[in-house]
Structure 1
Amino acid sequence: MTIDFTKNENGLVPAIIQDNETKNVLMLGYMNQAALDTTLMTKKVTFFSRSKNRLWMKGEESGHFLELVSIKKDCDNDTLLLQVNPNGPTCHTGSDTCWDEPNISNYGFITRLENTIKKRKEEANTQTSYVANLFEKGINKIAQKVGEEAVELVIEAKDNNENLFLNESADLLFHFLILLQAKGFELHDVVNMLKSREK
């Protein structure tokens, strides 16, 4: 890997650290050639510490190492993106990230939808909210709706109307997310269960 360490007078390049699973950015550090070589050799992320003025393996004191998965360079060959598996919190403050955010998976729109469902449940306005109304009727009604939507999806799967099939798929996923929250879970709990079965 050819990196241009000459663009900065100190011979350092930024190294962005990203969780390999969640894709969250955990921290930003700096590397020189020796730090990069050490990282590649040990498979544990090593930086050049500007405050200590020496090589510094992340986790050398805390034990919260960053296990290297992959390294990419940017189009100008002067910035690195390292994907890692963190062994504990990344920030020295004890936070998962240096932005004081939890390092949990974010599924984009699906996560927003889960948050909307949670908000409707908490507001409990059964006059205007279909979701709040379902929660008010209880777990049996919610589970029944999931079953109904699953049957409708199976029926549409046997036909050739793609629009109806996708609509029923959306209905099933929506009601499944409601059921998860009714049981006190979220989608990441299901994903973790699937990961535990990975061989």
Structure 2
Amino acid sequence: MSYKRLTPCILIDGAKAVRWFDDKTVISDDVVSLAKHYGERGADELIVFDLSNSDENHEEAIDLMKKINRVISIPMVAGGNIRRQEDVKKILYAGAKRALLNLSKPGTLKLLEEAALRYGKERIAVSLNDFDALFKHQHQIEKYCTEMIFMHRLDLNSVVNITEIPCVVVTDTMEQKEILKILKSDGVKGVSGLFISQKDMDFDAFKNVCLEEGIRMTSFESIMDFAEFKLNSEGLIPVIVQDYKTNEVLMMAYMNEDAFEHTIKTGKMTYYSRSRQERWIKGETSGHFQYVKMLTVDCDKDTLLAKVEQIGAACHTGNRTCFFQSIAGNDFDAKNPLQVFESVYKTIVDRKQNPKEGSYTNYLFEKGIDKILKKVGEEATEIIIASKNPNPEEIKYEVSDFMYHLMVLMVERGITWEDITKELSDR
């Protein structure tokens, strides 16, 4: 196992985050904000455990998983109260990279096989707190899943001697020495639990501790040295910064070697302030950090392009981007397809939140889900009929009608275009 991961966990009970499986002390009333907090502080992955016992609370937990998935850019593994195939589907559709099945529960082996055959073994993980279960069911585990979650009281050395499937250890220890010992185990992919899930956990700082202990951690590594770049007369290289999702250009700044190395080391965009003549970690005072997703260099090696996850505004004026003042240009029709969808979607959301008299959109919302579904069905039928006509203009018209009514349905059911595009990209 080359690189190790730091994976905080969130235990959901009654729509709140609690401390541990046998300790229901509430640590956060806002589960979604807690997940976002972990992601922004440098966690590599997130495990979400649903501790519910009822279908109603289970559905509530799955809704929270959907909301978590919208605000984090790290992978999520989720499980808990999975009793049937439908539960696996709902958790995966909520955005989980893998559904976590508890092998200590009766009937899980059959469910494991069915889920792996339906969704692929790469979408399935299993949790174990019993070494005998691993020994007894090793064949099924290796055949139907790609990751194991271990509760720490297992003998890790014995585990790695039995199977090569990577594991994440979930432990209640608060001892840093013990965490380091776990991470040094060959078969361990990552560690989770109380220590890793502390609210004030500085993941980047702890990764440095791990590196000093000879543990290779998931982090950025540059395949080029700073010395290979062509610098300006001040020894700096300009950096153009883009939003990694929308490709919107956010700002331009400069890096010296120290800023570049700090960016690679921490995953946070760091620049050199020419006015203050010092290192400048973007967001250190405002909280508007930029988390690196990708760094590329241009053909002349004299300019960097950084694709980032931007927290808040990039510009000191409070604007999302520093490039907001138009100074020249002609009228032109620039319609990014996704931006058009998002613009119409936002208009529909606004109509629902701020009804306008005579609005057809408001009429649909007032009539309710049955009316909306009826219109979606009618428009789908119209597309089929129009497709028999060799003239594509009629198809275009009917598809537009269908897409509008589909977006009304999406708003009614709380589904966003980001949910759809993420689901498509995961397939």
Task: Give the TM-score normalised by structure 1.
Answer: 0.67
CA-to-partner distance for each residue in 1:164-193, whole Å, 9 max, x for gaps? Answer: 111111111111111111122322222233
From 168, 188, 191, give the equivalent of 2:421: 191
SS at match of 2:390: coil
Q: 1:169-180 to 2 correspondence within 5 Å?
A: 169-180=399-410
In 1, Cα distance between the equivalents of 2:403 and 2:372?
A: 13
Shift of 1:131: 1.1
Q: Report the AA paired with residue 245 of structure 2.
A: E
In 2, Cα distance between the equivalents of 1:137 and 1:29?
A: 52
In 1, Cα distance between the equivalents of 2:399 and 2:351?
A: 22
In 2, Cα distance between the equivalents of 1:30 and 1:110?
A: 35
Identity of aligned residues (%): 32
In 1, Cα distance between the equivalents of 2:290 and 2:413?
A: 35
- Identify if the C-alpha distance between structure 1 residues 71 and 159 changes in structure 2 by more than 3 Å, giving closer, same or farther: same
1:18 maps onto 2:245 in alignment: no
CA-to-partner distance for each residue in 1:123-162, whole Å, 9 max, x for gaps? Answer: 32343x1111111111110111111111111222343210
Q: Report the AA paired with residue 131 of structure 1.
A: T
State the partner residue of 2:346: 115
1:69 maps onto 2:290 in alignment: no
In 1, Cα distance between the equivalents of 2:278 and 2:354?
A: 54
Given that 2:229 and 2:302 are in contact with CA atoms closer than 8 Å, whether structure 1 keeps it comes out as no
State the partner residue of 1:153: 383
Given that 2:372 and 2:405 are in contact with CA atoms closer than 8 Å, whether structure 1 keeps it comes out as yes
SS at match of 1:17: strand
Shift of 1:59: 9.2
Query: What is the CA RMSD across the aligned residues, in angstroms?
Result: 3.9
Structure 1 gap ranges (5+)? 90-94
SS at match of 1:107: helix
In 2, Cα distance between the equivalents of 1:68 and 1:121?
A: 35
Q: 1:1-199 to 2 correspondence within 5 Å?
A: 3=230, 5-6=232-233, 10-32=234-256, 34=257, 38=261, 44=267, 47-50=271-274, 53=277, 66-73=291-298, 79-84=303-308, 86=309, 89=311, 95=312, 97-98=314-315, 100=318, 107-127=338-358, 129-195=359-425, 197-198=426-427
In 2, Cα distance between the equivalents of 1:3 and 1:68?
A: 23
- Identify if the C-alpha distance between structure 1 residues 119 and 46 changes in structure 2 by more than 3 Å, giving closer, same or farther: closer
- Identify if the C-alpha distance between structure 1 residues 3 and 150 changes in structure 2 by more than 3 Å, giving closer, same or farther: farther
In 1, Cα distance between the equivalents of 2:299 and 2:259?
A: 15
Given that 2:271 and 2:279 are in contact with CA atoms closer than 8 Å, whether structure 1 keeps it comes out as yes
- Identify if the C-alpha distance between structure 1 residues 21 and 125 changes in structure 2 by more than 3 Å, giving closer, same or farther: closer
Given that 1:3 and 1:73 are in contact with CA atoms closer than 8 Å, whether structure 2 keeps it comes out as no
Given that 2:295 and 2:304 are in contact with CA atoms closer than 8 Å, whether structure 1 keeps it comes out as no
SS at match of 2:292: strand
More contact order relative to length (CA 8 Å, sep ≥ 6): 1
Q: Report the AA paired with residue 271 of structure 2.
A: F
Q: Report the AA paired with residue 12 of structure 1.
A: L
Shift of 1:111: 1.9
Q: Report the AA paired with residue 167 of structure 1.
A: Y
Given that 2:260 and 2:271 are in contact with CA atoms closer than 8 Å, whether structure 1 keeps it comes out as no
Given that 1:58 and 1:66 are in contact with CA atoms closer than 8 Å, whether structure 2 keeps it comes out as no
In 1, Cα distance between the equivalents of 2:264 and 2:416?
A: 39
Q: Report the AA paired with residue 294 of structure 2.
A: V
Q: Report the AA paired with residue 383 of structure 2.
A: L
Shift of 1:23: 1.9
SS at match of 2:338: coil
Given that 1:74 and 1:80 are in contact with CA atoms closer than 8 Å, whether structure 2 keeps it comes out as no
Task: Give the TM-score normalised by structure 2.
Answer: 0.35
